[in-house]
A = this chain, B = another copy of it.
Amino acid sequence: MNVALLAHEQFPDRAKTAVGVLRYADYDVVAVLDRGTAGSRVADHVPDVQDAPVVASMDDVGADVDALVVGIAPIGGGFEESWRPDVRTALERGADVYAGLHYFLADDEEFAGLAAEHGCDLWDVRSPPEDIGVAEGTAGSVDATVVTTVGTDCSVGKMTATRELYEDAREQGMDAAFVATGQTGILIEGEGVPVDRVVSDFAAGAVEAMVLDAAEDHDYVFVEGQGSIVHPAYSGVTASIVHGSQPDHLVLCHEVGRESVHGYDQPIPPVESFPGRYEQFAGPVSDSDVVGGMLNTRSVDGDEAARDAVAEFADTIDAPADDPVRFGTESVLEAIR
């Protein structure tokens, strides 16, 4: 399936979703739309993902496009009016449009009209399904090994760690599933529920339903975590994912040098306290152990220094650790098998 990725003015550094799609999704990306870097190629900016030309608008995309994916989100999750011509052009060409914004494309009169006229789908990834209920506390009894990622903060790399574990597991012949809980994961996987957009009472229920479903057909279920239990705003989302998924194993994600909560004036407790925090929190609902750690070393220059950082992190949490992007997931996957 051919997709174009909208990432105006933000590719690649502030286009987390676009880069995630380039790295992990099964889509063939035929173009990235970024009027700021038009004329370059993806490979000029991000070396280790599929390559594609960067162009200024949908008008410059010659290839057939099945879907336009909005790969960025401004603070607040609104729709930038400067993107309107691209979305309009995509729909007029018969392409679906996918977005993970708080603003729903389906609620936009012009887009809804064009989609109906041209037989296209508008997929608002962040709009949760309506048939979600209260968790029944049953995810722990599935006939599969459930692994949930947790973190010392948000934006430390939980989606990436989960996806790398899932892909590496499959490469090793393990029958693995990926449960997406956030917009980037959902866009990559093609399904999932944006837990942060689910009504609090049903958030754990949403996760439980996905785990039960995935465990029907797979031996290993990798659940994408969100936020952190020490986060002043998002700990409710984290709690719902940990208790809703009732994992056998937890994988602790951290970024080198992160010492205070992203965007908040609040120190993060010592990293060595986190395995105990998460195990004690999960404990009454499920007997979950922190089986390994994933360290994001993107700010570290040189592989040697990065290896040292990973070794120190492993020491700190007293469990095997890896950097999933830089070095892979082997030692952690070993502990899960």
Contacts and interface: CB of A to CB of B under 8 A. Distances in A.
A33 interface: no
Interface stretch (A105-113, A228-236, A307-315): A228-236
A195 B204 contact: no
Interface string A237-266: 111100110100000000000000100111
A284 interface: yes
Interface string A195-218: 111111101110000000000000
Contact of A229 (B246, B265, B281): B281
A190 interface: no
A40 interface: no
A137 interface: yes
Nearest to A206: B200
A129 to B, nearest CB: 14
Nearest 7 pairs of A and B residues by beta carbon: A236-B240, A137-B232, A230-B284, A135-B233, A236-B236, A196-B201, A239-B239
A268 interface: yes
A281 to B, nearest CB: 7
State the oligomeric state as a number of copies.
Answer: 2
Interface of A: 134-137, 195-201, 203-205, 229-240, 243-244, 246, 261, 264-269, 277, 280-281, 283-285
A186 B235 CA distance: 24
Given A230-B285, A280-B277, A235 B204 contact: yes
Contact of A236 (B203, B264, B277): B203
A269 B240 contact: no
A264 B234 CA distance: 25
A136 to B, nearest CB: 8
A229 B203 CA distance: 14
A237 B201 contact: yes
Contacts of A283: 269
Contact of A243 (B235, B246, B285): B235
Contacts of A135: 232-233
B232 A204 contact: yes
Contacts of A197: 199-201
26 contacts: A135-B233, A136-B232, A136-B233, A137-B264, A137-B265, A196-B201, A197-B201, A198-B199, A199-B200, A200-B200, A200-B234, A200-B236, A200-B240, A201-B233, A204-B236, A230-B285, A232-B244, A232-B246, A233-B243, A233-B244, A235-B285, A236-B239, A238-B239, A266-B284, A269-B283, A280-B280
A244 B200 CA distance: 14
A230 to B, nearest CB: 4
B230 A200 contact: no
A265 B136 CA distance: 9
A327 B315 CA distance: 52
